[in-house]
Amino acid sequence: MAKLPPKLHNISELYDINQKIAPLKDLADRERRSIYGLTGMVYTPHIDEYMQMSVKKAEILACLKKQGLLALSQVEVISIALDFLHKRAKNNTIVEYNGNSYQRRFSPLKLSKSGKVVRTWARYWLLQSPNGKADPIWEAEVREIWPTYFLIHITDI
């Protein structure tokens, strides 16, 4: 049986998901603050729902950009250029590009079934502000474009 082409998204879907995501982010942030410092398995329905909506929004954005309805953001353009120029950059490596400093970061993306070994790493770049910390606006955009980089999955072995 032939594989069906993926469903193309439109701008109205992006508007709809933005309307759904705003209240979920508030609930997720409140939930995150309430469990700060706790350990173990914690039930986090608002954070989970917010992350699902964030992933859906990222899929819609990627589809719209692939169709040419939206342009690539500055974060994506610079990340692509830095990936090309610094293919073998290690974690926390800081490089200069167009007068700004960018730090290569790695986050665990997929863990083994036991959860002890990282199988796949997410790679992204963060803009460094003059005080040496990551620029929060840049980091928020990275989290919006690639929300799956901040979800850890267990592999099925």
The pLDDT tens digits along the chain (157 residues) read 567 777 788 888 888 888 888 888 888 877 776 665 554 455 666 677 888 888 888 888 888 888 989 899 999 999 999 999 999 999 999 999 999 999 999 988 888 877 788 888 889 999 999 888 999 999 989 888 888 887 766 555 4
pLDDT value of position 96: 94
Q: Which residues contact 49 (CB under 8 A, 6 or more apart)?
A: 24, 27, 28
pTM value surpassing 0.85: no
For residue 120, what are the CA distances in angstroms to 11, 38, 100, 107, 109? 32, 26, 28, 9, 5
Q: Which long-range contacts (CB under 8 A, 24 or more apart) does 10-17 make?
A: 10/64, 10/69, 11/64, 11/69, 13/60, 14/57, 14/60, 14/61, 14/64, 17/53, 17/56, 17/57, 17/60
Distance CA(77)–CA(3), nearest Å, equals: 31
Residue 42: per-residue pLDDT: 57
pLDDT at 86: 94
Which tokens is 38 given?
């706790």
Angle between helices 45-67 and 11-34 (to 10 degrees): 150
**Per-residue model confidence (pLDDT) at position 124:** 93
Give the per-residue pLDDT at 157.
Answer: 41
